[in-house]
Chain A
Amino acid sequence: MSKVKKKVKVIKIDLDKCNGCRACELICSAYHATPKYSSNNPARARIRLIREPLQDVYLPVYAGEYTAAECMGRDKYVIDGKEYDECAFCRASCPSRDAFKEPDSGLPLKCDMCEDEEEPLCVKWCINDALTYEEREEEVEEEAMLEEMETGLKSLIDKYGLENLVDTIARMSQKN
C-alpha cells in the first residue's frame, strides 16, 4: 500500500467550559437532516452530551465507528470523584446500548466532521469554546474506507444475517 497525506481533524473538548446547553446536539441533527436543516432532533445527533448537573458531569462524546459485537467487558471511570457511566467515553455504536443509533431504524450514526463546512457545526455553535477545532496533516497508508451505505448495510447484516437481508432486498425490489 502506498503512503498518502491525510488530513487529521481534531475536535478539542474542554469539559470545564461546557455549560450543558446541548446546542451541539441540536445543530448536528439539523445539519444531517434531509434536506439540510429541515428538521431538529437531538436523538439523531452524532454527538451526545452526557449531562449530570448534580454530579457536575458534562461530557460531550462523538459517535465513532459501528461495532457488531460489544467488548468482552466494560469500563467505568471515576475522575476527581465524579463517577461516569459505563463505557461513557466510548464512541462506538454498539449493541450494548442505544447511543449513536437512529431512533427509528436503529442504524448506526457516525460523526463526519460536517465535511462540507469550514469547521464542524457543533464547534461553530459552541460559542463558549468547550469545543474547538484543529486540523493537521499526517502521512498514512492508504486504506479503503467503507462508504456510508456500506456501513449501514454491514450493520444490517450483523443484525439480521446476510441471507435475510438479501431476501428482503429482493422482495422489496420485486414490489417496486
Chain B
Amino acid sequence: MRYAETGYNLEIDLSRGNIERVETDPRLTELHLGGLGTNAKILWDRVPPEVEPFSPDNLLIFSAGLLCGTPAPGANRTIVSTISPQTLYMAFSMMGGFFAPELKYAGYDKVIIRGKSPNLVYLWINNDKVEIRDASHLQGKGAVETAELIRQELQEPNAQVAAIGLAGENRVYMASIEHSRSSASRLGIGAVMGDKGLKAIAVRGTKDINIARPAEVIEFCNEVLKYIPVRDSNPVPGVMPILAGLGSPKEMLIHDEQWHTENFMWGNARTRRKDFWTKDVEEKWKETQESVRTRLISCYNCPMKCGAIISVPGISTYMMKCFSKLTYTMAAYSDLDFGFRIAQRATEYGVDGFSTPQVMAFALELYEAGILTDQDFPGMPSDTEGRFYWLLDRIVRREGIGDILANGVYWAARQIGKGAEAYDHNTIKKHEQLPLKLSMLNPIYFLMWATGEKINITQIEGNFPQAPFETREEREEFVKDWIHVPHEKFKEYFLNWELRGENAFPYYPTVEATCEIVDWQETMHYIDDALGMCAGLSSFPLKPPYHIHNLPILISAAAGIEIDKAELWKIAKRNRTLIRAINVRRGLRRKDDRPPDNHWKKRFPELEAQLLDAYYELKGFNKEGIPTKESLHELGMDYISEDFEKRGILQNEQSEEESQGN
C-alpha cells in the first residue's frame, strides 16, 4: 500500500483525447518526495530544451504535494509546473485552496497534461470517471464565474475547480490559474493552459488517503494545532505587523500599510513616498477595507485566515489574498478603493497581480516619455484609474497595444524599441519583480533575488529575520526559543548582526554566513513545495510550527519513508539542483543570476561576485552556475551530467580545467 500519496498520476493527451491512469514509481517518492520535486523529474525526462512553451509537447502538470489530504494542517498546495512562455525556463507557480486534497481523494497525485485540444474543453475528474468535456459555452467567461458555472452544470457543489479567464485563453504571458481563494499566478502558466485549449479542471474525490503510522501523525498534528495560537498571539517584537505572526502576510486582516506604502515603490517601481501614510490615509483605507471585507477565510485544513471575501458594492464578490490589495493601487498612484475594485476584474480575467499592474504602469511611463503616443492608445481615458481599466481590458484581449503589453515588460520593451528597454528596470530573468528599490546592498537578498529559481522573492525568503534588531537585548530575547535553526551558528550570525558599523550590510553577514542563511531559507521552501505544505506555516514566517527538526518525523510517519534531517536536506538539494539543471539546459548561466541594476543604489561588484562564487560552491555548481558532475553524482543524478556532456554544457573534467586555465 502507498501512504500519504495515491501512487497514481492521471495522464491526459488533449490532442488525441486520451486519458490514462498510470501507477508511479515509489522510488521517485524517496528521491524527490512529490509535488515540485517529482514535477521537475517529469519535466526533465519528458520536456527537452527544444520544446517551446506553446508546443503541444510542453507539459502542464498539476500536482498535489506529498502531504496534501493527510491531517497535516496547511498541507493543501497545488504545484503547477510547465515551461514559462515569458522566461522560457521552468515555471512552478503554486496555489493553496482545496484543489490538491480533492485531487488526492479522487485517487491521483498529479494531472499531467500534454497536447492541445482543437476546441476549448474542460476536464472533469470524478474519482475513477474522467471526462474531457466541451467548454465552448465558457469561452470568454471569467475565472470565478467559470468555476460556478461548471459546478452548476455538473450539479456537484463539492467539486473543486481551477480555471483560466480571458487572459489565459488569449495566451497573455501573465495569465494566472484561479481557484477558490487562491491562484497560481506567476510566470504565465495560465497562458500555457489556454494554449492547450483547457479552460478548467474540475475534481471531486471520495476515496481514502492512507497513513503509515496514524497515531504518530495525529499526535504531531495536535502539537501543531496547540502551537499555532500560542505563536500567533505572541507576535515577534520589532518586526512589521504583517510578518510578526504566522501565515502568509496578513494583508486582509491588517490595516497598517505604512511599511508597504512608504518602502515599496509606486508607479513602474519608480517613486518612493516616504511620508505617504498620514492619519487621513490610515482612516480612509481602514474604512475601505472594513466596508468591503465580509469574512476572513482559509485554505483546506488550515486555521490561519490569510484570505478574504471581498464584496465591493456594485461588482461581483471575489476572494483575495495577500499583496494584490496594494499592487494596482500603488502602480496607479491611487487608493485602496481602486485597488479592491480593479482586482475584481483582474481576478475574473485571470492575471497575475504582481506583473500586470507593473506592465500597465510601464506603458503609461512610455506614453509620458513620448515613446508610445496617442495613436497607440486610441480612446484611452485621461484619468489614471480609467487608463488602468482601459489597459487591462486590452491586454487580456491582446487588442492593439495590449497585444504587445501582454508579453510582459521585458518582451514589450524590446518589441516597442525606441529606447523603451531603459524602462524595463525591474525584471529578473524577464519576469516582473516586487517594486523595491533600496539603498545599501543586502547580501542575503542579493543572493536570493539573483539565484532564486522561482524568480519570486516571497517564495525564497523566510525563516531568518529580514533585518537586524536594534539592540543586543532584543536579539538575545529572540534567539531564546529559536529552536528552528538547523545549526546553532545561525543564532550567532543573528546575535552579531548590527544595523550600523562593521557588523552591518554589506559585509555582514559574511559571505560564508550569507550563503548558509540563503541555503537554509531556500531549503525550507523546497521541502514545503514537495510536501504541498503552505509556506505560511513553515518556510515563510519566523518560528513556524514546521521546521527542519520535526518535518522528517512527520514525513516518515505519514508516508512511511524513513528519512532523517540530513536525508531531507539532501532531497531538497536534489530538487533544487534538478530545477537548476532544467534551466541550465535551457540556457541559464551566471550572467542571468542578477537582480535589476538599480535594485540597490550602493552596489559592490567584487563582493557580489564573491557571493555568487561561494553560493555556487555551496550548492555544488561551477562558476557558471552549472551543477558539477561530482555534485550530480552525489545526489544520484548522473543522468543529468551525462546529458550535459552530450550537449556540451559540461565537458569532462580535464577539458574543464583547461578552459578555466585559458
Contacts and interface: CB of A to CB of B under 8 A. Distances in A.
A21 B299 contact: yes
Contacts of A161: none
A44 B205 CA distance: 11
B317 interface: yes
Given A26-B71, A127-B228, A42 B105 contact: yes
In order of increasing CB-CB distance, the 5 nearest A-B pairs are A37-B214, A43-B206, A103-B206, A39-B208, A21-B298
Interface in A22-45: 22-23, 26-27, 30, 33, 35-44
Interface of B: 69-71, 73, 98, 105, 144, 148, 157, 180-181, 205-211, 214-215, 217-218, 222, 225, 228-229, 294-303, 305, 309, 311, 316-319
A42 B295 CA distance: 24
B301 A41 contact: no
Given A38-B214, A53-B309, A21 B303 contact: yes
19 contacts: A19-B305, A21-B300, A21-B301, A26-B300, A30-B71, A33-B214, A36-B215, A37-B217, A37-B218, A38-B210, A39-B208, A41-B209, A42-B105, A53-B309, A54-B144, A54-B309, A56-B295, A58-B295, A125-B225
Interface in A106-153: 124-125, 127-128
Contacts, number: 99
Nearest to A104: B206
Contacts of A33: 208, 214
Contacts of A39: 208-211
A64 interface: no
Given A30-B71, A53-B309, A54-B317, 4 more contacts: A40-B211, A41-B208, A43-B206, A54-B148
Nearest to A55: B317
Contact of B309 (A26, A42, A56, A103): A56
B50 to A, nearest CB: 42
Contacts of B302: 21, 23
A20 interface: yes
A19 B300 contact: no
Contacts of B218: 30, 37
A146 to B, nearest CB: 26
A23 B73 contact: yes
Nearest to A24: B301
A127 B71 contact: no
Contacts of B294: 56
Contacts of B298: 19-21
A37 B105 contact: no
Contacts of B303: 19, 21, 23, 127-128
A125 B221 CA distance: 10
Contacts of A22: 98, 300-301
B71 A41 contact: no
A43 B105 contact: yes
A20 B181 CA distance: 11
Interface of A: 19-23, 26-27, 30, 33, 35-44, 50, 52-56, 58, 85, 103-104, 124-125, 127-128
A21 B299 CA distance: 5
B38 to A, nearest CB: 21
Nearest to B317: A54
Contacts of B205: 43
Contacts of A55: 317
B71 A36 contact: no
B313 to A, nearest CB: 14
Nearest to B214: A37
Contacts of A124: 222, 225
Contacts of B148: 54
Nearest to B211: A38
A80 to B, nearest CB: 11
A20 to B, nearest CB: 5
B8 to A, nearest CB: 16
Nearest to A48: B158
Contacts of A43: 105, 205-207
B296 A19 contact: yes
A104 B127 CA distance: 11
Given A23-B73, A37-B214, A41-B105, A127 B296 contact: no
A140 B148 CA distance: 47
B381 to A, nearest CB: 30
A37 B71 contact: yes
B469 to A, nearest CB: 30
B212 to A, nearest CB: 9
A75 to B, nearest CB: 18
A53 B319 contact: yes
A27 B214 CA distance: 12
Nearest to A56: B294
A37 B208 contact: no
Contact of B209 (A40, A58, A103, A104): A40
Contacts of A58: 295
Contacts of B71: 26-27, 30, 37, 40
B181 A53 contact: yes
B289 to A, nearest CB: 17
Contacts of A21: 298-303
B317 A40 contact: no
A18 to B, nearest CB: 9
Interface centre among A41, A53, A103 (most CB of B within 10 A): A53
A176 to B, nearest CB: 25
A103 B229 CA distance: 34
Contacts of B215: 36-37
Nearest to B306: A19
A35 B309 contact: no
B338 to A, nearest CB: 22
A37 B215 CA distance: 7
A127 B229 CA distance: 8
Nearest to A50: B157
Contacts of B211: 30, 37-40
Contacts of B228: 127
A128 B228 CA distance: 11
Contacts of B300: 21-22, 26
Contact of A40 (B70, B98, B309, B311): B70
B555 to A, nearest CB: 16
Nearest to A54: B317
B69 A40 contact: yes
Contacts of A44: 206, 208
Given A35-B214, A38-B214, A23 B301 contact: yes
A54 B310 CA distance: 9
Nearest to A52: B157
Contacts of B305: 19, 128
A36 B302 CA distance: 22
Contacts of B295: 19, 56, 58
A41 B207 contact: yes
A26 to B, nearest CB: 5
A37 B209 CA distance: 10
A40 B144 contact: no
A13 B410 CA distance: 52
A37 B218 CA distance: 7
A133 B202 CA distance: 36
B492 to A, nearest CB: 35
B319 to A, nearest CB: 6
A30 B144 CA distance: 31
A58 B309 CA distance: 12
B480 to A, nearest CB: 25
Nearest to B148: A54
A20 B297 contact: yes
